[in-house]
Amino acid sequence: MTREFLIGMIWLVLIATFLAYAVYYTSLRLFPVAKVSAAIYLSPPVTMVWAWMLFSEPLTVAMFVGLAVTFIGVWMTSRSE
């Protein structure tokens, strides 16, 4: 076990899992299910940005098109009627 491995596991377990579930279930108490469910679709764009920031993954035009489509879809689902 290396130091980097332990830091990665702590990040994965504490931040990416427990914090994400805590935010999700807290959101379910505060907002309608349809709005919270739509927010789950923001996971791929967030992952794209994290990969760019942490691993210098290249960003392509197709990724930005997907990002725009995702944001528009979440916005359409979340807006008040």
Residue range 13-56, pLDDT digits in tens = 888 788 888 888 999 999 888 888 888 888 888 888 888 888 88
Q: Are residues 45 and 57 in the same domain?
A: yes
pLDDT of res. 80: 65
pLDDT of res. 74: 85
Q: How many domains does the chain have?
A: 2
Q: Are residues 40 and 62 in the same domain?
A: yes
Helix (H, G, I), strand (E, B) or coil at 73: helix
- Listed residue (39, 51, 45, 46) closest to 68, CA to CA: 45
What is the rounded average pLDDT of the residues 1-19? Answer: 84
Retrieve residue 60's tokens: 């392509």
Q: Are residues 40 and 73 in the same domain?
A: yes
pLDDT level of residue 68 (50, 70, 90 thresholds):
very high
In the DSSP assignment, the letter for residue 19 is: I
- Domain holding 65, by residue range, is 32-81
Q: Are residues 24 and 53 in the same domain?
A: no
Retrieve residue 72's tokens: 């528009």
Q: Are residues 36 and 74 in the same domain?
A: yes
Q: Are residues 47 and 16 in the same domain?
A: no
Q: Are residues 19 and 47 in the same domain?
A: no
> 36 and 27 in contact (C-beta within 8 Å)?
yes
What is the rounded average pLDDT of the residues 63-80? Answer: 87
